[in-house]
Each structure stands twice: as structure tokens, then as C-alpha cells.
Structure 1
Amino acid sequence: MLNSCHIQEVKCSRIFLGINSVIKIKMLLRLAFLFVFCGVSAGAFAWGADGHRIVGEIAWHYLQPETKTKVSRLLKIAGEPSLAEASTWADRIRSDRRYDWAAPMHYISLPRHWDGYREARDCPPAGCILKAIENFEKKLSDRNVIESERAEALMFVAHFIGDLHQPLHTGLAADRGGNDIEVRFFGFPTNLHSLWDVYLPAGFVQDWKKYASAQLEVIDEQQQSRWLSGDKTEWAAESQRLVHSHAYTTEKALGEDYYLRNREIVALRLRQGGVRLAAVLNRALGE
């Protein structure tokens, strides 16, 4: 279950109780474009490229000046134009067989009744997202590591912090985090994981950069302080609670009701991911 602070944030940020006909038509047209013309594959990208860009863009605005300088230098080495774009890199390389070893690091499979993270039990030898973030954060902060490897570590950290805030990346192993749960969203066939990765955010994000900038007006200092009070295992615990309280459903035909129940959860997790990514980078690269 969400704690009272999260519930209040979701209630305060909800701007409508239903989708009016104009908004619904625009959303359906956007979804149709994604399904038919873009060929978004099931479970291909966590948060979708725009979701990761939003997390990266929000994080950029919360970086300390010295951290921005160091991040910019590493991005130049990596050939990435911005932290927002670099946040998508770990998905862009998934077709590169040289990075097959990184595939298990995008998620952690947790049971419904989970009593907290224990690495020996919850993270297999191939790795998991929590261990990956820990390892790449250490590499990023180590001044003795060559710059090209630190640049790669930066891009992994930026991506995996985003992944950790998508609830289905802490879902059940039995259904591969919702990838094996087929649903229809406003009549379009997809699976539960892709629904959260791509189609729920697509309902309210038309321009990712404008959307990210608008979130800076929503996030206040009290929220930042609260979001940074826990560690990465607590961020995983938040996702694990949300995946069972909001994401998993026995319904197969999903539409307006499911969208309205979850759109502000998605928006909240994107904001939290951005603020927390900035904190991780400030700690790893700041003075």
C-alpha cells in the first residue's frame, strides 16, 4: 500500500476525475500511433525512451554545479548530447550481444510477500538492479577508473535508477514482471509490462522535455527531503508495494478506469526517479 504522504501527493496532483472526450480522442490517437506506426514491442523498454528522458532531465536540474561539469565531461566522452538522452542508452544497447550480461540488471524479481532485501536470496549470480546500481555507482565515484568506463557507469546508473521506479521491474518472476500477462488497453493488444513502460505515460506526455520542465514547478523541498530519506532498497520496496496495489490486475480489458487509477502513480514515480538520480550523481561525483 502507498503510505499517507504518497496518497496525498497523488490526490493533490490529480487534475481531473474523468477523461473528457477531447482528451480521450487525443490519447487514443497517440496510442494508435504508438501501437501501429512505431511498432513498440512488448517489454522492450522500461518507461519507454521518453520516460527515461524525463527522469534524466529532471535529475539534470537538481545536480550541483560541480556535478554538472563532471557529468558533461563524461557525456562528451560517451558521445551523448545530454543526461536525458544518455538515460536511454542501456536500452539502446540491448540488441548488442556484447552487453547480454547486463540484461538481468534491469530488474529484480520479488515475491508478493517480501520482507526486505537480502542480496544472497533476492539477487541471483547473474545480477539484479539493486546490485547493478551499487556496483556502477562505485565505479562512477572511483577517480582511479578510466574515464570511458566511468562514462559507461554513469549511463547505466542513470538508466537503472529510472528502471527501479517502474513498479513492474520489481514484479513476479512467474510472469516476468508482467511481460507474460496479455491485456488490451483501450482495445489495443499489449502486455501489462509494456502498458506501464510506454502506454500509460503516453496518455499524458506529449513533449517529454516540456513535461519534465513542468514537473520542476510541482516538486517542492519537502517532497525532495522525504524522497531522499530512504536508500535504494526502500525505493525498490516502494515499487514492490505499488506493483501489487496498483499494477497487477485480474482484468484483461483495461481502459479509462485503469488509466485514471494509475496515471498519477506513473507521474509520481518519474518525479521521484529524477530527484533521486540527481542525489546519487551528486554523491558519486560531487566534492
Structure 2
Amino acid sequence: MKSCTVIGRFVFSAFLLIYASKIYAWGDDGHRVIGEIAWQYLDAEVRAEVQVLLESAGEGSLAEASTWPDRIRGIDAYHWAAPLHYINLPREWQGYKPTIDCPPAGCILQAIERFSRELADANRTEMERAEALMFLAHFVGDLHQPMHAGLKADRGGNDIEVSFFGFDTNLHWLWDSKLPAGFITDWHAYASNDDTSPELVAAWQASTPEQWTAESHQLAHANAYTATTRLGEEYYVKNRPVVEQRLRQGGIRLAALLNEALMDH
């Protein structure tokens, strides 16, 4: 078994590579992992239809398409989608109430419901359904990142400055990018190495987006938020299994949503 010191050196080296190459994880590779895992769990009929929609949007794979909603963030025509990447929840949260938890501009749970419906609607144009697919793939991934269900007061950790292995960042970006960077060096190989048991797949796919939100809310406060701002090995070792599980849950659950929306379409 690797010692914590060895793990620390490995993670530190990974961060040096990340900063030098400007490659990020859950913002890019993490979403690709989720998209690729989902692809592996799609029914054959659904996979064929997804491929048609991806080609109509000029995307080569579900993995790459899952990064599209971040790629369009600077485009004026899509500014309306910015609030749909997250949901702000109070520390003492008693369950999802749309009129309380989602502002007029919308939130991630409303977005998942909306784009699932639009994807399944055969009366919509192919391009409308392709965009719904890409939004859905991305937002399911976002919802599994605990800080996307964080507090409004600190903008889901964006306003909490921390030091991680000596690098200055913020708590949200730490979970979006820096934690996955410690163990994802080849996103395709990582996503392909899935050994989730059929029993666990069935359990994860039986849950609802509201339950995924509750999971992220719980993890945000039990694991992500911390009293100290100087973080390193202990924080990484504690939270790596959480990040790995959330990536796999996101992919497996995304597949279930797509199968449901497109089966016998």
C-alpha cells in the first residue's frame, strides 16, 4: 500500500502538470468520464439515436458533448443557462421545494427535468433535441459535484479561498478540478475501467435527481466544507473515494435518464 507521503508526492506532481498544461478535470475530463461511462450503459437502440443527435450537433462523442454547456458560457445567446448549473441550498435543508429552492431564473433540478422532456419530444427539431442531450449530460454531471449544491452565501464555495498542496484556489474549483486531477491522467482509460457491480448499478439507477441532490448536499457539508483553509494529503485521501464514486454515479445515472427518454423513440 502506498504511504500518504507517496500519495502526496504523486498528487503534487499531478498539480504541477495541471498548472503547466492548463488542463482541468471535472470541468473537462471529469465530464468526459461521466459521458463515457454513460455511453457504456446505454441500450443499443438508444446509443444509435444518441449518435445521430451528436452528429447533428457536430460532436464526436457523448464524452466530448458533455463539455459543450461550459464551452458556450461566453455566448450571449446562452446566458440564460448560467443559473442552471447548480442549486443553492441552506445548511439545514428539509428536501426539495421548487418554489423555495429554485429562483425565477431556474436551477439544475428544473433543468434536468426540462431537458429530459425536450430530449424525449419527437416533435422538436433534431438540433433542439441535440442541445437538450448535451445540456442533460452536463447537468447530471454537475449535480453530482457536491459544491453544486452548496451555500448561496459563498456561491457554492467559490468565495472560500483555500490553499491545496500550496496552490491557491477556492473550494468550488478544488472539487471541480484539483481533486480529480490527482487520479485522472487519461480520462478515457479511467472511464473504461468500470467494475461497478450490477446490484450497485441497479440501486444507483433507481434513485431520482432529488435524491442525487440530497447526496451532494450531505457530502458538501460532511466532506467539502472545512474549518481550515490549508488543505493537503489528509483532505485528498479522505475525499478521493467520494469524487470517484460521484463520477461513476453520474455516468451510470445519466445512462438511465437517456435510456428512459429515448427507448422506443
TM-score interval w.r.t. the shorter chain?
over 0.9
1:54-93 → structure 2 map (5 Å cutoff): 54-93=33-72
Match of 1:205 among 172, 180, 184: 184
- The amino acid across from 1:170 in the alignment is A
How far is 1:121 from its partner? 0.6
CA deviations over 1:1-48 (Å, ceiling 9, x no partner): xxxxxxxxxxxxxxx574342x433321220232354186xxxx8x22
User: Where in structure 2 are the equivalents of 1:70-149 lying within 5 Å?
Assistant: 70-149=49-128
Q: Give the one of 16, 29, 32 matched to 2:16.
A: 32
Q: Is the 8 A contact 1:117 1:233 kept in 2?
A: yes
1:285 alignment partner in structure 2: 262
Mapped partners of 1:81, 1:36: distance in 2: 27
User: Is 1:250 aligned with 2:233?
Assistant: no
Distance in 2 of aligned mates of 1:38 and 1:210: 20
Across the aligned residues of Structure 1 and Structure 2, the Cα RMSD in angstroms comes to 1.4
d(CA) in 1 for partners of 2:46 and 2:23? 37
The one-letter amino acid of 2:124's match is V
For residues 84 and 13 of structure 2, the distance between their equivalents in structure 1, rounded to whole angstroms, comes to 34
Contact 1:200 1:263 in 2 (8 A): yes
Partner residue of 2:4 out of 19, 23, 35? 19
CA contact (8 A) 1:18 1:260 kept: no
**Cα deviation, residue 106, structure 1:** 0.0
SS at match of 1:184: strand
Normalising by structure 2, we get a TM-score of 0.96
CA distance in 2, matches of 1:111, 1:151: 34
**Regions of 4+ moved over 4 Å:** none
1:9 corresponds in structure 2 to none
Gaps in structure 2 of 5+ consecutive residues: none
Residue of structure 1 in register with 2:204 after alignment: 227
Question: Structure 2 CA distance, aligned partners of 1:156 and 1:136?
Answer: 7
1:157 and 2:136 are equivalent in the alignment: yes
Contact 1:35 / 1:188 at 8 angstroms: preserved in 2? no
Choose which of 241, 244, 251 in structure 1 pairs with 2:218: 241
- 1:106 and 1:166 mapped to 2: Cα distance? 10
Specify every segment of 5 or more residues in structure 1 that has no aligned partner in the other structure, as ranges: 1-15
**How far apart, in 2, do the equivalents of 1:19 and 1:50 lie?**
25
Aligned length: 264
Superposition deviation, residue 95 in structure 1: 1.4
Q: Compared with structure 1, are the counterparts of its residues 113 and 141 closer, same or farther at alpha carbon in structure 2 (3 Å cutoff)?
A: same
Amino acid at match of 2:151: L
The match for 1:189 is 168
Q: Per-residue deviation at 1:96?
A: 1.2
Aligned mates of 1:192, 1:100 — CA distance in 2: 24
Partner in structure 2 of residue 168 of structure 1: 147
Alignment match of 1:262 (pick from 212, 235, 239): 239
